[in-house]
Chains A and B, each alone.
Chain A
Amino acid sequence: MKKFTTGCPRNCYSTCTFEVQIENGRIRAIEPHPANKATPEGPCLKGLSYVERVHSPDRILYPMIRRNDTAEFEQTSWNEALDRITERMCHYRDAYGPQSVMFYAGSGTKGLLNGVSLAFWRLFGGCTTTYGDLCWPAGLEATRLTLGENKHSVPWDIANAKLIVLWGKNSAETNIHQMLYINRALDSGATLVVVDPRRTESSERAQLLIQPRPGTDGAIALAVAKLLIENGSIDDGFIDKHVLGYDEFARAVEDMPPERAADVSSVPVEYIRKLARLIAETTPVTINTGFGLQRYTNSGQTMRAILALLILTGNIGKPGAGWIFANLQSHVFDAVKDPVAFYPPAEPDGVVRMSVSTARLGPDMLRMENPPLKMLWVERGNPITQNPETNQVLKAVRALDFRVVVDQFMTDTAREADVILPAKTMFEQTDVINAYWHPYIQLKPKAIDPPGGVKPETEIYYLLAQRLGIDAGQIAAHIPEPTEQGVRAFLEAKLNDIPGLSLEQLRKGPVIAPDHQEIAFSDFVFPTPSGKIELASDEANTRWGVGRVPVYSEPMESTHSEQREQRHKYPLYLMTPNTKNRIHSQFNNLKMIRDVSPGPFVAIHPADAAKRGIKNGVTVRVFNDRGSIEMPAQFDHGMRIGCVAITNGWWASEGGGVNFCSKARETDIAHGAAFHDNLVEVQII
């Protein structure tokens, strides 16, 4: 039996380190690896399910080609598949220009080698691709504008907090390893407050669960800020020394007395006061915001308002205190860090056209001209399921001439392909990964040979580049040779740029990023334009057109909207949170996961159900003007009345597909996807 230490490359906070045991070329078991202090007890159930995922009989192992105008695919050879793709690519490049080919990559797998893809498309002559991000831009940009950089303290520092506010985060499901340290804090007397329209697994040990109307968190935060200022609970010394724009901010929050915030958020005013009291009276305070609350059309400002609470009280740069959103300290390979890295360039280079907002994937693709889009290449992603407004995405994808999808399984997106190429799993090619919660950089070594005809993406690109007649020197410079040695040499070269990092060192286990700060901002250096924490930001206004200081505005789609029609026709907020059972649209096709997660359902409060004559377990239709899905209703007394929830990531073919209802629209700042502005109605079928 062979053993490898590896890191899980999913788009997940935890990015676990674990040991994988190989027997006769098969993954036999997975064991914890204590060297990663953030995930010492081992991976979650999804990590364990790799035992099935890698060897699943449903895995796509060979190139597949669509049989003429049917839903059927047939296996083909690499030669035939690549010839067909090359012929199409050349045709579109010659007839319309290379930008008629669209390259779409999702967040399916982390890794340094992911950079090879766009390098290939540049060698091809260019392409069209997306800008923005589905996940987290508003929060990243709010943090960058305010603190200058996206980083936070080590995951285990939360154990030192005396007040933990999980604001829109359900760690027990989406970051289970954090519970180890949250529990440690609670076991030694800390207080937990959860802000979430749902009662979640994470709120069970909370003293206070604030359940606001979705999208109104900013109003609550501003009212709490006003109370802190009024009651003299702010840290004047800290503010004088490190904060820019306090006076302007203090004037702005005058506008949000707690009574108004209570009215806006439907949270009784005493709870807003209680939250303010807890923040004022407890030290240190850690606020950990999730991702869901920053996917509304007002959420950049929401995030700035929440962050302000820590700044006012001096809860920055100290143990047990601080802002946990994203910790990009391990992103040492990125010349430009997120979110700036995914903004469209001010000056297009004429090669890669970054013109499709991923938040508006469908409508923007349909709108492309000079040249129009003809071909789509999708890898590491499942945009049919995960991007907003599925019907528009489907329309745009189906309007194309030719589609290539690289994937491990028959996802909703793969079903739309003309050619499907089999994708590797994390165990089949060596790569180096970083994280966005803990500070470790990890090696993800090749542990088994790819089964069947699977070729890693870099090898696919290598072969395509050769077929396209690209200069061998160029290929060598940008694409690793398709061997383990080639890949390692390529990675070694990348690591060479970073002092204190080598493959040899990574082979021994996870390595904390060089120059890492254990307690973020403990040096009180803030790389903003002013060098201070910016409660008031010029860039917020010049770049995004929002106020210099955070103020509250109603989300575009809301039950308090001015448009009467909207709020009467669709009175329910559809929340689409993540679940412990999946990473977005991955994993639920496995038997091991189906065992605990057999099918989609819509969680609804019995009072909302009763109004509609809905009984527990009956099939209902969840719909709005954009689309409709059907599934059983499940009573949830912990749900805020007026909200329903379906976990995102169910494939349409599994009866899910929450994005049939969401709208292709950007967040107020940073080109995020505001798909949580989403009103629906639910009715019995």
Chain B
Amino acid sequence: MQKGFIFDINHCTGCSACRLACIIENDLEPGVAWREVHTFNPARIEGIPVFHHSLACNHCVDPPCLINCPASAYTKDQNTGAVTIDEDACIGCKYCSWACPFDAPKLNPSTGVMEKCTLCEDRIDHGLAPACVTLCPTGALGFGDVEPGSHQHELGFPRSGVDAAIEFVPLDSNRHIPERSIDSSQPPGGLVNSFEIDGVESKISLRSEWSLIVFSQVVAWLTGYILAVVVNKVPALPIVFAGLGIMGVVASALHLGKRKRAMRALVNWRRSWLTREVILTSLFLITGAVWLMIPGRGSVWGWVVVAVGFAGLFAMDRVYHVTGTEKLSLHSAQTIITGIYAGGVLGWSGGLLMAGAAAKLLLYGYRKHRRYNHGYDPRFGISALRIIMGLVAPVLFWLWQPGTIALAAIVFAAAGELIDRVEFYAELYVTTPRRQLTLDLEKTITRGV
């Protein structure tokens, strides 16, 4: 059976009693509530309705949080369909909040772990409805058996393809935007110029994820390095390799809310790309260091290490696909391409270097062009720096001196990759109800008011 919320958009006035009911029922600190009320058209732009979505967890049929949680901290109740998190198992990696298009899992800053709507299982057991439903003063929020995935193609509701167990009573088809008795002599208000959509904060920010940038760059370059050792017989530096590897792993652990539980990240290898990334990159770092230390190392084992490394990079790139960010597989900062390029630079191998640089240049140019067309600032200065320093200069160095590796080329290439990766994180976004409402509002406005 699947229980869920039934939400009547026409009857909700956005009062937020549901949110407060949730805070009280679950003894939450105001500010980190599990239910949120989002408003469509908060600036009351002419000709567009104002309405609200009161949303908590939608207790999906196949929940992305549960699938992707590396620690398998989520469970879905067979009787009610409630999706809950075991806060003692959560490692605080926040990956579920990237995977959930409904912004349901919330980080509790005081405990460092995720929390979420429990569908008030205790209340359900006692024959009561969830607190938010019970205390909705207009009866807009209901609860009962729902048909997941149906009745939810509403303006502003994330269209994620996930079977969410929520039903909407949609906006009345005859709900007219009220005819307003505004003087025709009064200007309509210079709508487009004066309108300002609230900026939607991305859940992924450079500030919170710097450690992941360090980790991903270190692993990609170390993979490239092993490739260079295998192909171009560059000197084996096991101590440097191990040192950098440990640094990367430590950095990546820093972003966990519960570092002591880091080992739990290995649990969900069946379904979570994050677990696979952790397993494969750890395996790569260990086998890489061992292989480098073996005096008469054979290149067959070297190729195995390289394969493990690139598999790890593949997993690392897959990790970000849960966010819903568009065209990620065409992103120039994908670590798998960085690994190849790094192999070319470190091994001073013309073929790999040029292939990597060309691929990166193409993808980078395509992406910048696309973003420019979508109205984003393409950041010309940074882009030029990234291309000239990170891609053109190493190639020129190689053409000039194909015989001797240029240290400057490595530094330049690494700096260019860092810029790209930083941009990658800055461009990542997670689908959320608030973001969807804003995008849909923008669309409604441009369609003409």
Contacts and interface: CB of A to CB of B under 8 A. Distances in A.
Interface stretch (B40-48, B59-67, B334-342, B383-391): B40-48
B395 interface: no
A199 B21 contact: no
Given A31-B134, A595-B30, A607 B13 contact: no
A640 B24 contact: no
Interface string A3-18: 0000000000000000
Contact of B138 (A31, A179, A637): A179
Contacts of A595: 19-20, 23, 30-31, 33
Contacts of B20: 45, 48-49, 592, 595-596
Contact of A610 (B137, B138, B175, B190): B190
Interface string A246-276: 0000000000000000000011100100000
Interface in A180-217: 180, 183, 187, 194, 199, 201-212
Interface stretch (B176-184, B281-289, B422-430): B176-184
A45 B20 CA distance: 7
Contacts of A266: 183
A180 B182 contact: no
B138 A180 contact: yes
A647 to B, nearest CB: 14
B182 A616 contact: no
A606 B31 contact: no
Interface residues of B, number: 49
A208 B21 CA distance: 34
A172 interface: yes
B16 interface: yes
B contact face: mostly helix, strand, loop, or mixed = loop
Interface string B127-163: 0000100111111000000000000000000000000
B189 A44 contact: no
A582 B311 CA distance: 58
Contacts of A635: 43, 194-196
B107 to A, nearest CB: 17
Nearest to A605: B189
Nearest to B52: A201
B14 interface: yes
Contacts, number: 156
A338 interface: no
A546 interface: no
Interface in A379-395: none
Contacts of A609: 194
Interface in B51-73: 51
A173 interface: yes
B25 interface: yes
Contacts of A596: 16, 19-20, 37
A640 B136 CA distance: 31
A29 B23 CA distance: 11
A42 interface: yes
Contact of B181 (A268, A606, A636): A268
Nearest to B175: A205
Contacts of A211: 180-182
B38 interface: no
Given A592-B20, A594-B30, A637 B182 contact: no
A592 B181 contact: no
B10 A183 contact: yes
B418 interface: no
A405 to B, nearest CB: 28
A225 interface: no
Interface in B154-206: 172, 175-176, 178-184, 186-187, 189-191, 194-196
B15 A616 contact: no
A196 B194 CA distance: 23
Contacts of A209: 178-181
Contacts of B11: 179, 183
B135 A42 contact: yes
6 contacts: A42-B136, A179-B13, A199-B44, A211-B180, A212-B181, A607-B186
Given A32-B134, A268-B181, A595-B23, 15 more contacts: A42-B17, A42-B134, A43-B137, A49-B20, A172-B13, A172-B15, A173-B15, A179-B138, A201-B50, A202-B13, A606-B191, A607-B187, A610-B194, A637-B191, A637-B195
